[in-house]
Amino acid sequence: MVFATNLIGDILSYEALADSEIRLMDIDEHRLEQTTEVAEAMVDNEDLDAAIESTTDRREALDGADYVLNMINVGGTEPFENEIRIPEKYGIEQAIGDTTGPGGVFRGLRTIPEMLDIARDMEELCPDALLMNYTNPMAIVCKAVYEATDIEVVGLCHSVPHTVEAIAEYVDVPTDELDYWVAGINHMAFFLEAEHDGESVYPQLREAYHDEETYRKDTVRFEMLRHFGLFPTESSHHMSEYVPYFRTDEDVVEELTGTDYAERMATATYLEGWKERSAERDSSELDVDLDEVGVDRSEEYAARLIHSLETGTPRRFNLNVRNDDGAITNLPNDACVEVPVFADGSGLHRCSVGELPTAVAALDQQHTAVYELAVEGALEGDRSKVHKAIKLDPLSSAACTLEELHEMTEELIEANREYLPALEFPESERTAIPTTADD
């Protein structure tokens, strides 16, 4: 409800969009009712011409839409917990487990069927609408939609603007004065340039590495800067599960504990917090003074992107899109990449980044292979490709043997059986190691 009402407030904050028809859709009637109450209060209190409609019928919501903003979660608490706890038994200590690693792959597998249903409804009911996706795992979900449907999809993520704020703090410059050029994949893009008044701030960032107080705020990212030369876009906590260096040795975990990182470095604390928040939202009454609700603008991309497309106002965003025409030339053309994209009245225009530096490209290439295998496994019902995706994951392969990863993947498939019907095959075959090599 909080995130949805933020996005609604963003849209209504623009005069050119303030008469929009906004349709809210959820399968959870309790949360839908709460969100609708807040949205209607915004319109009434600000005396706007917008219309708020709500429904539990997805097709009704999509019919004739110009933009579709997606933020679904498939399955709720139980599968999410399985995707953390089962790998944990095998020594794989995920930090969040929603976009990478075994958790990310399996969240992708159970989300893809629902995403394709949404996109296919869009093909029938609003074929020219732009699908703006917030659901993780971002790269896997977006790739599945553009591989299997004709819907234009972009992925929106907070990591780049949040990292801009962090870098600005570390080098002591105003956030809105930091110029940057960022590219890679979601949660693993890199600041290829970061400048203030035309001068690179990388020398100050490298100096900040040696300041203990600053270093402790972002230990993993400073280590990535030290060893690979560029600053990545995801928090130290989350970044630690994208690479094999930081989560497999207790001494390293202890050494890299920082002020913004300490308790969250422990396994599955994100999961427990998510469960608590979810339970509170399901059981609570609306804790908002509706008479005080107004329209405020957050830092989210969605409304700015819509405003640019509707009014022709040019803006640049970092979006998750297909790597068409080699926006990043040393990543696969069909990969989902996070690159600068210009938006104006004529549409979306990917920027040409060229080659990423070899070292960071290699880090991204390994994940794009994992995502490709996961999507192909989902779309083709190919169990062997799911196995290979997990075995290529950097954190998993650092923690387990191939046989352990095989056993763990089978256990995860079984735990997610109701969400993965395409991967079912006879009981006698389930423990056999897949042997297909034609991918």
Angle between helices 29-46 and 269-283 (to 10 degrees): 70
Rounded CA separation 341/318 (Å): 6
158 catalytic residue (yes or no): yes
Phi first, then psi, for residue 233 (nearest 5°) are -95, -5
Find out whether 18 and 49 touch, Cβ atoms under 8 Å.
yes
Rounded CA separation 237/243 (Å): 12
Rounded CA separation 18/194 (Å): 35
**Which residue in the list 158, 367, 387, 406 is annotated as catalytic?**
158
- The alpha carbon dihedral of 135, 141, 146, 151 has a sign of negative
For residue 263 the two structure tokens come to 């308790």
Nearest to 308 by CA among 346, 351, 343, 350: 343
For residue 160 the two structure tokens come to 């780049």
User: Which of helix, strand or coil describes residue 369?
Assistant: helix
User: Which of helix, strand or coil describes residue 4?
Assistant: helix
Residues marked active site are found at: 158
